[in-house]
Structure 1
Amino acid sequence: MNKRLLIIEDDVKNSESLAKHFTKKHWHVDIVDSLTLVKDHLMDDDFCPDVILADLDVSANEMFKNSDELQKVTNFSEWIFTHDPEKDINVDEIDDLAYDILEKPIKHSRLEVAVNRAHRLATINRRLIKSSNTKKQLYQVDSYLGQSEAAKHVRETLSVLAEAPISAVTIVGETGSGKGLAARIIHHCGLNSDGPLIELNCAALPKELLESQLFGHEKGAFTGANERFRGLFEQAHGGTLFLDEIGDMDLDLQAKLLKALEDKKARRIGGEREISFDVQIIAATGVDLGEAMHKGEFRDDLYHRLNVFCVSLPSLSQRKEDLVELVPNIIKEYNSKANKHVTVVTDEVWEQLFNYSWPGNIRELRNVIERSVLLSKDEVLPAKWLQLTETCDIQKEQSNRYQSKNSITIHLDGSMNLDEMDSFIIQTALEQNDYNVSQTSDILGTTRETLRYRIQKYNLKDKVS
């Protein structure tokens, strides 16, 4: 029995009935009849409830006054409040603390559903905190490997950022150059490391869903909003919000993001009040935001708000000497994952690695090493599975040569990630069909709406009528 429920209720008959019900459902139940006793329980290191079921009719005013303190000491717990709707209690004052607020009378079956959902969320949060502690050890400044001058400069920059209370950082660099790694190092080594790190890829979601993810929504705010959702700004409170591919964000949503950053508060979709938050923003992009700003594709005021400090990451082709340190570390990682024992890198392999241009940067290098380790037969890294004989230009040339009206050739050598493949397929199909969206969507087996979304996502819209 590892599920713990704390009930705050001064009605003995009701509390005993609830305890009996949840005990049968394999919960360990504790009952208190005042907020003072709650504090005593919570100060006990051995007592850490997953869910706290509190009757607001017991001590609402005292609970409102102590909500911030309660939130700190119940960091691992989820609160569910019940109240009599006929009593004059402003439940909004406890909203930030509450997982759910239910009106009496409540059937035990309905209450059980809410408690089980809250328990799932509490379990996830505990795992995230445990994972965060592990990641603090993984994402240190020295995790950015390399002895080149470029790598040393990046580490020096990350060390400075770790000690400074900077509200926003922009990370720029080519696709696969390690922007995600740099963001995690900044968070886990920085002043906000005790708070959560919440990550969001702005290119992965359409505008409406992205807005809901950022700011949250109330139950019933739109079709499919079956329950309240705390936005990522709320979830990242006290920590860091990492917005990857910020350059792909819709202009209208950029305006809302700017207002939220300036005010340090936002309103959930369908909500009536604004919720304050304190987060560090890390924005990453592979596009030139300055150029996008001049083209009118990115707001200049948001650009300047995010660009408090800019970290520019070098491409792998600019620091090839770091391969000497990177390759053995990646081999070691995949040896562990695949139970392989590769320890030897031949001169032939090193020559290919150093002569290749690495258009996909570290991500491509990892893919190449992973494939070679997985297909190895002994302790030697096999040269034949590197597949680095063709340059990116030759690949494109051959791809164009082999393409017909009904075929597209893509080389699966790690030089293109999934988004780049997706963009390449759509671009080629559009060209083959004279940029007719209806005809292209039929050939690709998708809807026009989905195709238009992806055209916008990959900035192909200028060529489509």
Structure 2
Amino acid sequence: MSSLILIIEDERLLSKQLQKALSQEGYFVITSYGGVEGLQIAKRENPDLVILDLKLPDRDGLQVLKDLSGFERMPPTIMMTAHGSVEVAVSAIRDGAYDFIEKPFPLDKLKVMVRNALRISELNNSLNAVARRAQEKYGVDSIMGKSESIKEIMDLFKKLTETDPKTILIRGESGTGKGLAAKVLHFNGLRKQGPFIELNCAAIPETLLESELFGHEAGAFTDAKKLNKGILEQADGGTVFLDEIGDMSLSLQAKLVKAVEERSFRRVGGNRDITVDICVMAATNHDLKSLVKNGGFREDLYHRLNVINFEMPSLRERKEDIPLITDYFISYFNLDLNKNINIIPSEVRKTFLHYDWPGNVRELRSTIERAVLLSEDGLLNPKYVKIEEGDSLKVQDGDDKMVIDIPHDDASLYKIERKVITKALDLHNWNQTRTAEMLGITREVLRYRMKKWGLLS
């Protein structure tokens, strides 16, 4: 499809010459001899490119440019003038012009300028489309739940997306959705048009991690054949998400402190500081405070990251959200796997509610994916619902009792105790006093055992 070009030029001879030359290049060209008419045409036709004269009989070209910049989608604009000056050019570029050309000019020069402007515009449109899809995928409603803990998280997210925090620390167990939270904050925040670059600090060897973060100059080390920009530089104007930052080595933490504090760093092998405008989000499933006390994490980096911090709640802490999340994943995998599962047996829902989900939402997702894939006839077949701990031990509740099924080959007191305590807490909505009374122990003993099994935050 040919690009539409609007020429706003009061010199009719020049206007016709440009129209003919650009039409021969395969463009569809329309012309206007005044600024007011040109703006009306631009609103109606939504051109892909505007070629605009600086001096017009009814309106100053710079004012027309400002009006174009107020459009929902400003077309790339090339300014023409017979009275070129550095000041005018700077003013035009500042107001959003793509480029500036001084009359008289060779037609070939304008053709190259038009071609480049359209190519960059097409690229920007593609990037904007990608950004829009990401914003749809990671909307605020992508974090599902009606529990109080999720409501608190969403209230915080509303505040964060309306401002521009420079550092955010996200805590939580594996599988709770820390990465999803980071994407939601980015793609709904003030930096949503900028890049979002993620790096798992635990997945890359330390020898490569520094280069990935800061980049390197050509010749910085044996295999550094050419200059490479690190993710801090690539994310300029956007967000860097450092996942599993608690696994980063102390030596690399020391180098990261300056980048987080001053938004300034040097490439490996470089001798000049590079300054960037980025938001740094970091996530961890470790207790960074404890790591700081034990010398496993730098205190200065911890305080720089800990400006805004929150914890993604575990699934066992918000079991009332499990039915909603379950229904979502079944709908998602029905579409993704071309299935039609619409019947979920009550025993499956009951099992989901009673299970602790140590792998959190990630484990629930994979469990449902497998079951949907293998089930038939619209029924989520219980035999395909494989839960790691449930394969060997299951706690069921009756009207006035708990029934524990214990296989002969796996009668582990370790598992029995944990399941009984968890089930008793569930029955009493995690009220520790009432749970302790039911189990015939003191509240202090219950808290000790909850801490032992990782049930106490």
Native 8 Å contact 1:197 1:240 kept in 2: yes
Q: Residue 284 of structure 1 aligns with which residue?
A: 283
Native 8 Å contact 1:245 1:284 kept in 2: yes
Pairing 1:184–2:183 present: yes
Gaps of 5+ in 2: 3-24, 26-64, 77-85, 99-118, 395-405, 411-457
Aligned counterparts, 1:13-162, within 5 A: 129-162=128-161
SS in 1 for 2:389: coil
- Residues 222/124 of structure 1: CA separation in 2 closer, same or farther (3 Å cut): farther
SS in 2 for 1:233: helix
What one-letter code is carried by the residue in structure 1 that aligns with 2:148?
E
- Tell me the CA shift for residue 125 of structure 1: 8.4
- Tell me the CA shift for residue 229 of structure 1: 1.3
**Higher alpha-carbon deviation: 239-248 or 221-230:** 221-230
SS in 2 for 1:243: strand
What one-letter code is carried by the residue in structure 1 that aligns with 2:344?
V
TM-score, length basis structure 2:
0.60
- Tell me the CA shift for residue 218 of structure 1: 1.7
- Tell me the CA shift for residue 272 of structure 1: 2.6
Q: Residue 251 of structure 2 aligns with which residue?
A: 252
- Residues 354/220 of structure 1: CA separation in 2 closer, same or farther (3 Å cut): same
Q: Residue 346 of structure 1 aligns with which residue?
A: 345
Gaps of 5+ in 1: 3-22, 24-39, 49-60, 75-118, 402-465
Aligned counterparts, 1:422-433, within 5 A: none
Pairing 1:359–2:378 present: no
- Residues 373/290 of structure 1: CA separation in 2 closer, same or farther (3 Å cut): same
- Tell me the CA shift for residue 168 of structure 1: 0.5
- Tell me the CA shift for residue 188 of structure 1: 1.1
Query: Per-residue CA shift, 1:119-163, capped at 9, x if unaligned?
Result: 9x9999876543222111222222210111111111111112111
Counterparts of 2:324 and 2:135 in 1: how far apart (Å)? Answer: 22
Counterparts of 1:282 and 1:198 in 2: how far apart (Å)? Answer: 10
TM-score, length basis structure 1:
0.59
Counterparts of 1:260 and 1:143 in 2: how far apart (Å)? Answer: 31
- Residues 47/167 of structure 1: CA separation in 2 closer, same or farther (3 Å cut): closer
SS in 2 for 1:310: strand
Q: Residue 375 of structure 1 aligns with which residue?
A: 374
Q: Residue 34 of structure 2 aligns with which residue?
A: none
**Higher alpha-carbon deviation: 280-289 or 133-142:** 133-142
Native 8 Å contact 1:219 1:225 kept in 2: yes
- Tell me the CA shift for residue 277 of structure 1: 0.3
Q: What is the count of residue pairs matched by the alignment?
A: 321
Native 8 Å contact 1:265 1:275 kept in 2: yes
SS in 1 for 2:358: coil
- Tell me the CA shift for residue 389 of structure 1: 6.8
Q: Residue 274 of structure 1 aligns with which residue?
A: 273
Native 8 Å contact 1:352 1:388 kept in 2: no
Q: Residue 218 of structure 1 aligns with which residue?
A: 217
Counterparts of 1:357 and 1:157 in 2: how far apart (Å)? Answer: 26
What one-letter code is carried by the residue in structure 1 that aligns with 2:346?
D
- Tell me the CA shift for residue 294 of structure 1: 0.5
SS in 2 for 1:198: strand
What one-letter code is carried by the residue in structure 2 that aligns with 1:183?
A
What one-letter code is carried by the residue in structure 2 that aligns with 1:336?
L
What one-letter code is carried by the residue in structure 2 that aligns with 1:267?
R
Pairing 1:172–2:171 present: yes
Q: Residue 241 of structure 1 aligns with which residue?
A: 240
Counterparts of 1:281 and 1:73 in 2: how far apart (Å)? Answer: 32
Q: Residue 439 of structure 1 aligns with which residue?
A: none
- Residues 313/203 of structure 1: CA separation in 2 closer, same or farther (3 Å cut): same
Query: Per-residue CA shift, 1:366-400, capped at 9, x if unaligned?
Result: 000100111111211111111127359969x99x9
- Residues 73/208 of structure 1: CA separation in 2 closer, same or farther (3 Å cut): farther
Larger Rg: 2
Native 8 Å contact 1:221 1:270 kept in 2: yes
What one-letter code is carried by the residue in structure 2 that aligns with 1:341?
N
What one-letter code is carried by the residue in structure 1 that aligns with 2:249?
D
- Residues 368/125 of structure 1: CA separation in 2 closer, same or farther (3 Å cut): farther
What one-letter code is carried by the residue in structure 2 that aligns with 1:234?
E
Q: Residue 229 of structure 2 aligns with which residue?
A: 230
SS in 2 for 1:319: helix
Query: Per-residue CA shift, 1:55-92, capped at 9, x if unaligned?
Result: xxxxxx99xx89x969x877xxxxxxxxxxxxxxxxxx
- Residues 320/273 of structure 1: CA separation in 2 closer, same or farther (3 Å cut): same
Counterparts of 2:381 and 2:393 in 1: how far apart (Å)? Answer: 23
Counterparts of 2:318 and 2:154 in 1: how far apart (Å)? Answer: 14
Counterparts of 1:308 and 1:345 in 2: how far apart (Å)? Answer: 44
SS in 2 for 1:200: strand
- Residues 376/161 of structure 1: CA separation in 2 closer, same or farther (3 Å cut): same
Counterparts of 2:267 and 2:307 in 1: how far apart (Å)? Answer: 27
Counterparts of 1:168 and 1:306 in 2: how far apart (Å)? Answer: 6
SS in 1 for 2:170: strand
What one-letter code is carried by the residue in structure 2 that aligns with 1:384?
K
**Higher alpha-carbon deviation: 127-136 or 326-335:** 127-136
SS in 2 for 1:350: helix
Counterparts of 1:277 and 1:350 in 2: how far apart (Å)? Answer: 49
Native 8 Å contact 1:357 1:391 kept in 2: no
Q: Residue 384 of structure 1 aligns with which residue?
A: 383
Query: Per-residue CA shift, 1:164-216, capped at 9, x if unaligned?
Result: 22111100000000001110111111121121111111111112211111111
Structure 1 residue runs of 4 or more that deviate by more than 4 Å after TM superposition: 45-48, 121-129, 391-395
Q: Residue 111 of structure 2 aligns with which residue?
A: none
Counterparts of 2:302 and 2:207 in 1: how far apart (Å)? Answer: 22
Counterparts of 2:219 and 2:276 in 1: how far apart (Å)? Answer: 23
- Residues 127/299 of structure 1: CA separation in 2 closer, same or farther (3 Å cut): farther
Pairing 1:298–2:297 present: yes
- Tell me the CA shift for residue 233 of structure 1: 1.1
Counterparts of 2:143 and 2:176 in 1: how far apart (Å)? Answer: 11
Over the residues paired in the alignment, what is the CA RMSD in angstroms? 4.3
Native 8 Å contact 1:142 1:155 kept in 2: no
Counterparts of 2:74 and 2:191 in 1: how far apart (Å)? Answer: 27
**Identity of matched residues, %:** 44
